[in-house]
Amino acid sequence: MLFLDHLVVIRGGGDLGTGVAYRLNRAGFPVVVLEIAEPLAIRRPVAAASAVIEGRVEIEGLEVRVVETTRAARELAGTGTIAVLVSPELPTGMSQFGVVDARLAKRNIDTRIDQAPLVVALGPGFTAGADCHAVVETMRGHHLGRVIWEGSAAPNTGQPGVVGGASTHRVVRAPADGPVGWSVAIGDLVTAGQPLGVAGGTEIAAAIDGVVRGLITPGISVRTGTKVADIDPRADPAACFEISDKALAVGGGVAEAMLTGLNRAP
């Protein structure tokens, strides 16, 4: 790989984190993704986090595999495959050039500017120059994917971005605590009011017509209000299996930040 000695560790392998991993890998950076044991990713066909459950996945020609140790993660990343390691914390002893907080918590959980030569965070909750070196904008609109070297991204509005004319109604949240089960699959076309599955024994229904763009891993236990599914009113099943425009834009911003960091290095 072009930047073999410049490992980038991405914390979070959901939709956006995977877009970042894809862009960095294509640019020549070895990439390791850190995930939790029960990933909360919704867009599983295009989420590196899915490797935690399945062992190996392929996303638009990019191989993603889970590993057990930091050493194995470094070695695999150096071959051009995305390595996924179950580690809620940033592992000690894993020398890296860059760290990307792609967990989208809307707040800074534990990211520090001294964790790597270049620390990049996605979205609101971070201040460039204090929490990290750079922030990449995640809000849809004119500034999506822009790299911020001073200041913060747009504040969290609490409302999902508008897709196909729908915002809040396209996001499906758990109506009760408990394990989730589905009666539909990603890529299925559904209508408003149609049952999608259950959470804690309580029925989950679609609020709008569209295609099932994402479903959280069946069997996982969630809390009330957790995002568990996504309905896309544009109703294009093929798009459910492609990295999103938003994820690629954000990934492009992170790639720019990493290359800028290299260019500025003494």
User: Which pLDDT belongs to residue 93?
Assistant: 74
Domain ranges of the chain: 8-156+245-264, 168-233
Which of the four pLDDT bands, split at 50, 70 and 90, describes residue 87? Answer: very high
CA distances from 100 to 4, 104, 130, 145, 185 (A): 17, 11, 15, 14, 31
- 36 vs 265: which has the higher pLDDT: 36
Q: Is 216 exposed, middle or buried (0-12, 13-18, 19+ CB in 10 A)?
A: buried
User: Which pLDDT belongs to residue 218?
Assistant: 97
SS3 24: helix
* Alpha carbons within 13 A on the beta-carbon side of 165: 6
pLDDT at 94 over 90: no
User: Which pLDDT belongs to residue 215?
Assistant: 98
pLDDT at 167 over 70: no
pLDDT at 222 over 90: yes
When pLDDT is averaged across residues 55-73 and rounded to a whole number, the result is 97
What is the length of the chain? 266
Task: Please answer whether residues 211 and 189 qualify as being in contact, where contact means their C-beta atoms are separated by less than 8 angstroms.
Answer: yes
Domain 8-156+245-264, CATH class in plain words: alpha beta
Domain 168-233, CATH class in plain words: mainly beta
Which of the four pLDDT bands, split at 50, 70 and 90, describes residue 95? Answer: confident
Q: How many CB atoms lie within 10 A of CB 25?
A: 22
- Tens-place pLDDT, residues 168-221: 688 999 999 999 999 999 999 999 999 999 999 999 999 999 999 999 999 999
Q: What is the amino acid identity at position 158?
A: G
Output the six-digit token pair for 55. 């062992």
Q: What is the amino acid identity at position 174?
A: A
